[in-house]
Amino acid sequence: MYEAPMPGALQMSPADLAIVCIESWPQATLFLDAAEPTVFWMNATAEKCLRERGATLAGRRIQLAQRDRQKAFEDFLSKTTSEVSSWVLDLSGDGRALVFRCRTIGETGFRLLTIFHPENPPTSVPDVGALFGLTPSETRILEGIVDGRRADDLAESLGVSIETVRTHIRRFYNKLGVNSREQMIAKVSAYRVP
């Protein structure tokens, strides 16, 4: 049986091929050491994304420009498991944010950190409530409103009073820093589960 010779690009090792692919991803991607959340490797997109937002590397540790959020960021990284978790860094108060998604990679001793930014938002984030610090009830109501449901419909389907729904809406508006349905939808639409 005849086997055609492999083209030059396919003669590289699977590991080399993976690196070439990750380097060319439009998504900001970093590999972190699992023991200490220090940067082992990052693609050019990640380097640019962090630099443009004022973040630096100090001893291979990511230092955010928003110093008041540094501890929360480090806590997020240190609690990473094999399940994808997400953390949001508000950039300006106008709804623009960086979304960090992280998980450990099997038993490799590394964490995979992906950064989504306003120009390249994620297609979906399964933990939208956690991203914005919402309770499970607030999350259900927020998702219902984003899906176009009215408050009275939500109250009926959830078996709660309309006042309970309105209270949850006021609370998550406050947490999101918005004043209207339009602002709320604009802020969460890039991050909600389809």
pLDDT above 60 (res 180): yes
1-5, 101-105, 126-130, 167-171: range with highest mean pLDDT: 167-171
| Residue 69 in domain | yes
Predicted local confidence at residue 166, as pLDDT: 94
What single-letter amino acid sits at 169? I
| Residue 80 in domain | yes
- Taking the model in full, what pTM does it have? 0.59
If we measure between CA atoms, which residue out of 99, 127, 96 comes closest to residue 115? 99
pLDDT above 60 (res 94): no
**62 and 33 in a common domain:** yes
Q: How far, in Å, CA of 146 to CA of 141, rounded?
A: 9
- The residue segments making up the domain with residue 87 are 27-116
Mention every residue, 6+ apart, whose C-beta is less than 8 A from residue 81.
103, 104
| Residue 94 in domain | yes
To the nearest whole percent, how much of the chain has pLDDT over 70? 80
Domains identified in the chain, total number: 2
**153 and 108 in a common domain:** no
| Residue 193 in domain | no
| Residue 21 in domain | no
